[in-house]
Amino acid sequence: MKNFQDLEDMNLLQSIVGKDYLKRCITCNMVRPSLDLENCPHCYKNYLFFIKSNEKYSVYENRHN
């Protein structure tokens, strides 16, 4: 699991907090064509490769490739 500093270092924290994953893939930055899609059709990464629980965000270590 990653912590907040890791997410910030990866330039992902602001995108996650701002819920940018609802509009675009925060891995490859391509527009998300539908909220029904779980994986980006361009880079095949899971749109929600992190988990939010008890106000904590964590990145899946084995996210989809």
Condensed to tens digits (0 to 9), the pLDDT of residues 16-59 reads 888 888 899 988 999 999 999 999 999 998 888 766 555 554 55
Span 3-11, mean pLDDT?
A: 79
pLDDT at 2 over 70: no
**CB distance 60 to 51 below 8 Å:** yes
Q: Would you say residue 64 has pLDDT above 60?
A: no
Lookup: tokens for 40: 């980006």
Say what the pLDDT of residue 3 is. Answer: 72
Confidence at residue 65, expressed as pLDDT on a 0 to 100 scale: 41
Q: What type of residue sits at position 10?
A: M
| Sequence spans of domains, the chain | 4-59
3-state secondary structure of 16: helix
